[in-house]
Amino acid sequence: MVFRWLGRRAVEIDDVELDRRLADLRRALSCAPPGRGGIGPDDAAGRRPGHPGASLVAIAGTCAGDDSAADAAGPDADPVALQVVASRQAAGRRGGAAHVRALTAAPPLHRLPAAAVVLVVLAVLSAIAGGFYWYRGAGQPAEPPPLTPPVKVRVGVLPLVDVAAFYRSVDQGYFRKVGLDVQVVTVASGPEAIRGLETGVLDVAFSSYPGMFLAQATRAADLKIIAPAYIAKPGHLMLVGTPDRTFTKPEQSAHKRIAVTARGSISDLLAISGLRRVGGDPSTVTWVPMDMRAMVPAMQRGEIDGAVVAEPFVTTAGEAGAVQLVDLGLDLNFEISMSGWVVPARSLAARPAVVEAFQRALTRGVTDVQDRDVRERIFQQYLGIDAETAREVRVGSYPAHLDLGDLQRVAGLMVEQKMLAGPLDVTPMLLPPGSGS
């Protein structure tokens, strides 16, 4: 193949992608204005594991008869007959602008020597032919057979919207299909889940990232992050005051009793950061570790003055009359990575096929919960909320791949808020290239 096909392995091209690229090529070679530009970010390809910011190659073109393109370029500009362009998604923070770089801005075909025209066309057709060969001939790689006998895997989770993809995979039998007998263990906090890994009570844990990073930094555990779970959006994590309205402003937080799932959790970290941002003093707060399911009832009984709640408890707290004080997903915490799936490093070394099977099954759930209707059904079935509340829940995003820059951002915030004594390089906690999904 002359070109690397969209920066992907050729065997990963599906029918829709292949047909779309062929249509682009036909439009370019026939001098028809493309209905779809070839410049721009491609999130699906750009987020491949192990290939952050990989170049994406696309073909776009116009011809001399394209009046709209000529008008946009100006009266003196030569129309571009065939152009090969690249798009690179900015690494680091999610949602960054796409950086577009032209590889070749070809002069009009009628000004090129005949041999050059032939070479351009042959190069493009070679790429297409290669795509046909690898896709039609080799096909998709065969999925590994299910593990036999089925392997029991104890998985620690919190009852949050973060784990919707996992619950979907349980609900649809995706774990069973890969040979995993998943036993769901509900825990109260991310740090508790990490302790379950350390003591051998759990095999896989859902946890917010601060719990993982603190255990790794203090050498309480040697952990490997095997998949992301959730990225927050505004409204997902909130500091709220009691319904009796005795705590209505964040600057009133001094000497208040505020519940968090655990010290060293993501709710703890972002609450401290958020209070400082609005002029509060976290050191004057009495932080009360508590299962998030118990926080709203505890506020109603007057046992605490406020709480840091995540969805669906933000919505249920609002329905109970709680006062929203600080949205912890704004400003520097905008779209911050909240949580992921983690295993002890020894488990990865001893049972890599089990970890890989877990990843494959979870990925199918991640794909499914991009559908709002699917998410709402999962919320009702597994989080115990009614249909109306499920519709009101504010949801972030369920990423398919880990992003090192996003994880380092959380570790950096922990250093800034003095949860870590010094910088932590998260890289050793990720799977080596070629491992997992």
Residue 132, pLDDT score: 36
Residue 41: Cβ within 10 Å count: 18
Q: Are 99 and 88 in contact (CB under 8 A)?
A: yes
Domain 237-333: CATH superfamily is: Periplasmic binding protein-like II (3.40.190.10)
| pTM listed for this prediction | 0.66
* Phi then psi dihedrals of residue 184, to 5 deg: -85, 125
Kindly indicate the confidence band of residue 16, based on its pLDDT and cuts at 50, 70 and 90. Answer: very low
Alpha-carbon distance of 135 to 39, in angstroms, equals: 24
List residues bridging with 104 in a β-sheet: 84
Give the count of alpha carbons within 13 A of 383, CB side only: 31
Bigger pLDDT: 34 or 321? 321
Cis peptide before 312 (omega within 30 of 0): yes
pLDDT at res. 280: 85
Domain ranges of the chain: 5-138, 151-232+335-429, 237-333
Task: Please determine, for residue 290, whether its predicted confidence score (pLDDT) is greater than 90.
Answer: yes
* HEC sequence for 82-141: CEEEEEEECCCCCCCCEEEEEEEECCCHHHCCHHHHHHHHHHHHHHHHHHHHHHHHHCCC
Asked if the model's pLDDT at residue 10 lies above 90, the reply is no
| 217-248 residue pLDDT tens | 999 999 999 999 999 888 889 999 999 888 99
In the predicted model, is pLDDT for residue 154 greater than 60?
Answer: yes
Which of the four pLDDT bands, split at 50, 70 and 90, describes residue 279?
Answer: confident
Q: What's the pLDDT band for 141 if we cut at 50, 70, 90?
A: low
Note the CATH number of domain 151-232+335-429: 3.40.190.10
Q: Which pLDDT does position 341 carry in this prediction? A: 98
Q: What is the pLDDT of residue 113?
A: 58
pLDDT per position as a tens digit, 324-382: 999 988 777 788 899 999 999 999 999 999 999 999 999 999 999 999 999 999 999 99
CB-CB contact of 355 with 226 (8 Å):
yes
Tallying the residues shown for the chain, one arrives at: 437
Long-range Cβ contacts of 10-14 (<8 Å, 24+ apart): 10/130, 10/131, 10/133, 10/134, 10/135, 10/138, 11/134, 11/135, 11/138, 11/139, 11/140, 11/141, 12/140, 13/131, 13/134, 13/135
Q: What pLDDT score was predicted for residue 330?
A: 79
* 85 or 68: which leads in pLDDT: 68
93 pLDDT more than 90: no
Mean pLDDT, to the nearest integer, of 144-162?
Answer: 94
Q: What was the pLDDT predicted at 278?
A: 85
Angle between helices 15-29 and 114-132 in degrees, nearest 10: 170
The single-letter DSSP state of residue 34 is: P
Q: Name the band, by pLDDT with cuts 50, 70 and 90, for residue 123.
A: low
pLDDT tens-place string over residues 368-423: 999 999 999 999 999 999 999 999 998 999 999 999 999 999 999 999 999 999 99
Instruction: Pick the range with the lowest mean pLDDT from 116-125, 160-169, 296-305.
Output: 116-125
Start-to-end CA span in the chain (Å): 25
Q: In this predicted structure, what is the pLDDT of residue 50?
A: 38
**Residue 230 φ/ψ, nearest 5 degrees:** -155, 145
Mean pLDDT to the nearest integer, 85-109: 35
Give the model's pLDDT for residue 4: 34
Per-residue confidence (pLDDT) for residue 56, from 0 to 100 = 29
Is 258's pLDDT higher than 90? yes
Q: Is residue 181 pLDDT above 80, yes or no?
A: yes
The pLDDT of residue 214 is 95
**Chain position carrying tokens 């994406």:** 56
Q: What is the pLDDT of residue 432?
A: 80
Residue 407: predicted pLDDT: 96
The predicted pLDDT at position 119 comes to: 53
